[in-house]
Amino acid sequence: MNIIGITGTLGAGKGTIVEYLTKNFGYVHYSVRSYLIEIIKSKGEEPNRDSFVKTANFLRETNGPAFIIEELYKKATESNSNCIIESIRTIGEINSLRLKGNFTLFAVDADINLRYNRIIDRASETDKISIETFKTNEQREMSSDDPNMQNLLGCMKLADFRFTNDSSIEDLYMQVDKVMKK
Which domains are seen in the chain, by residue range? Answer: 3-173 (3.40.50.300)
Burial environment of residue 53 by CB neighbours within 10 A (0 to 12, 13 to 18, 19 or more): middle
Residue 49 identity: R
pLDDT at residue 125, as a whole number: 59
126 pLDDT band, cuts 50/70/90, is low
pLDDT at residue 49, as a whole number: 81
Given a contact cutoff of 8 angstroms between Cβ atoms, the answer to whether 140 and 150 are in contact is: yes
Comparing 2 with 182, which gets the higher pLDDT? 2
Of 14, 7, 22, the closest CA to residue 180 belongs to 22
Query: Alpha-carbon distance 5 to 3, whole Å?
Result: 6
Q: Is the pLDDT of residue 16 over 90?
A: yes
Question: Within 10 Å of residue 113's Cβ, how many Cβ atoms?
Answer: 10
Beta bridge partners of 136: none
- For 21-37, b where at least 16 C-beta lie within 10 A, e where not — what string? beeeeebbbbbbbebbb
pLDDT at residue 155, as a whole number: 97
- Single pTM value for the model: 0.92
pLDDT at residue 25, as a whole number: 96
Mean pLDDT computed over 92-104: 94
Question: Within 10 Å of residue 150's Cβ, how many Cβ atoms?
Answer: 24
Of 94, 106, 98, 50, the closest CA to residue 68 belongs to 94
pLDDT, tens only, 130-158: 899 999 988 989 999 888 889 999 999 99
pLDDT at residue 148, as a whole number: 84
| Radius of gyration of the CA atoms of the chain, in A | 16
Q: Is the pLDDT of residue 112 over 80?
A: yes
Mean pLDDT computed over 151-168: 97
Handedness of CA 19, 130, 171, 175 (dihedral sign): negative
